[in-house]
Amino acid sequence: MTKPMLEIADLHAYYGKSHVLHGVHLHVNAGEIVCLLGRNGVGRSTTAKAVMGQVVAKGDIRLKGKDILGRKAYEIARLGVGYVPEDRSIFPDLTVRQNLMLGVKDAKAIGRWNIDDMYALFPRLKERENTPGGVLSGGEQQMLTLCRTLMGDPDLIMIDEPTEGLAPKIVEQVGIFLQEVRNRGISILLIEQKLAIALDISERLYLMGHGHIVFEGTPADLKNNEAIRKEWLEV
């Protein structure tokens, strides 16, 4: 039986007095792409932030069997979690190459990825190597932030809305990128609103509504459940 990379159970999270997550449960196995779907505002991003120690939370969060709830964000990152937030958070005054090198946690360690791998995955980044991040297009910035996170050699990467606002061709590139990451044994928790990419690349998925999980299953299960899609996902 595959051992979970990430296990979340009875997770509650708060912004001040606002109770956002209400007993969330999910797991991501080693080398698996799992998609967390749902409308805006239902708690998907908060779930990722709770894993990273960025919001007040209680419950159970385990990485490779180790309890990580309550740890600092930098400690969680060092344990092997990479996080790509929705706002991309690149450094606009630094070049593409400098942004990528900032992702390296230990310059002495030999990880699964190097800068040449990043340029092979996204040749456009090689072309823009010496360009400041702030003048890149939205698609190029998304490529950069994905690759910068990989340079830290995570075992699990959480990615929040990577295809938001991107042209269809770039969305396709991102999908290929995620599958390549998975093929190298890295687990992915993908937070998405677009059903098409979720059905295409994920092994399993969860659907969130009002701060809790309302559906879990395979892409085929969700495709065959029109009532759930209409109630919790479709506009």
Q: Which helix (H) or strand (E) holds 124?
A: helix 123-127
pLDDT at position 107 is 67
Mean pLDDT of the chain: 92
> Quick one: tokens of 234?
């479709």
pTM exceeds 0.85 for this model = yes
* Tokens 């459940």 sit on residue: 225
Among candidate residues 28, 35, 70, the one with its CA nearest the CA of residue 52: 70
CB 175 within 8 A of CB 200: yes
pLDDT tens digits along 95-104: 999 999 998 8
Would the pLDDT of 145 be above 60? Answer: yes
Q: Give the end-to-end CA distance of the chain in Å, rounded to a whole number.
A: 38
- Which residues are CB-contacts of 53 (< 8 A; sequence separation ≥ 6)? 68, 69, 70, 71, 72, 73, 75, 76
Which of residues 88 and 33 earns the better pLDDT score? 33
User: What residues does 208 pair with on adjacent strands?
Assistant: 213
Q: Residue 48 and residue 68: Cα distance in Å, rounded?
A: 13
CB 130 within 8 A of CB 97: yes
Would the pLDDT of 109 be above 80? Answer: no
Percent of the chain exceeding pLDDT 70 equals 97
Q: What angle do CA 59, 62, 66 make, to 5 degrees?
A: 125
Among candidate residues 211, 235, 232, the one with its CA nearest the CA of residue 46: 211
Collapse the DSSP code of 188 into the 3-class scheme (helix H, G, I; strand E, B; otherwise coil) and give the result.
Answer: strand
pLDDT band at residue 173 using 50, 70 and 90 as cut-offs: confident
Would the pLDDT of 111 be above 60? Answer: yes
pLDDT tens digits along 26-50: 999 999 999 999 999 999 999 999 9
Which of residues 27 and 90 earns the better pLDDT score? 27
CB 84 within 8 A of CB 103: no
Would the pLDDT of 3 be above 80? Answer: no
Across the beta sheet with 81-84, what order do the strands follow?
Answer: 81-84, 156-160, 187-192, 33-37, 204-209, 212-217
- DSSP result, 59-90: EEEEETTEE-TT--HHHHHHTTEEEE-TT---
CB 218 within 8 A of CB 204: yes
Would the pLDDT of 105 be above 80? Answer: no
Domains and CATH numbers, the chain: 4-232 (3.40.50.300)
